[in-house]
Chain A
Amino acid sequence: AQSVTQLGSHVSVSEGALVLLRCNYSSSVPPYLFWYVQYPNQGLQLLLKYTSAATLVKGINGFEAEFKKSETSFHLTKPSAHMSDAAEYFCAMFSGGYNKLIFGAGTRLAVHP
């Protein structure tokens, strides 16, 4: 079955520290993978997407993610956290068999001074 798992529902980092949000997927076919960010009471905004070109994908706001097929992972990173990065982050996978996005449960990132 196709699924997306985000490890850690809450992550807390200090301002300036590395941000690492984990995402693992399960898929029998090469996946399309996405990271979205959601600020409180707002819709989702696309951070970056992997569509089988480069395995290291750069997105907006200094975020990037690396697709690792051997580990079935697509972790999101940012070298230095800003207070404005505090939000909820969703990893998603496109399911071609069902023509829909499968979302992880989300990770809420807190950034403290």
Chain B
Amino acid sequence: DGGITQSPKYLFRKEGQNVTLSCEQNLNHDAMYWYRQDPGQGLRLIYYSQIVNDFQKGDIAEGYSVSREKKESFPLTVTSAQKNPTAFYLCASSISGGTGGEQFFGPGTRLTVL
């Protein structure tokens, strides 16, 4: 089955630690995205990538970093510079970033900072 996988489903981090969230897709999509979801705020775009080895900042990129070394993988690192990292993180992909096609979402990772 084609789809998007995110791991882990739950993640706990101590303050001051960096942590990396995994996102893998086997849909052969060019574009991938990371969103942060907080209660009552909908989804906010952190980073997106339209092609391998290229990515752009979204609306709330501060304190986060990404890489796109392979088409199927788009890991997100939450750094210690992110002041309030506790949230639900969603990864998505689409066929191409500029065609207006729908995005397909992974099941999410819930990050809690202790």
Mark A residues whose CB is within 8 Å of B.
9, 32, 34, 36, 41-46, 49, 51, 90, 94, 96, 99-101, 103-106
Contact = CB atoms under 8 A, between A and B. Distances in A.
Contacts of A103: 42-43
Contact of B105 (A45, A100, A104, A105): A45
B106 interface: yes
B100 A94 contact: yes
A19 B110 CA distance: 30
Given A42-B107, A43-B108, A44-B90, A96 B100 contact: yes
7 contacts: A41-B110, A43-B92, A99-B31, A99-B48, A100-B48, A100-B58, A105-B40
B25 interface: no
Contacts of A106: 40, 42
Contact of A100 (B33, B42, B90, B108): B33
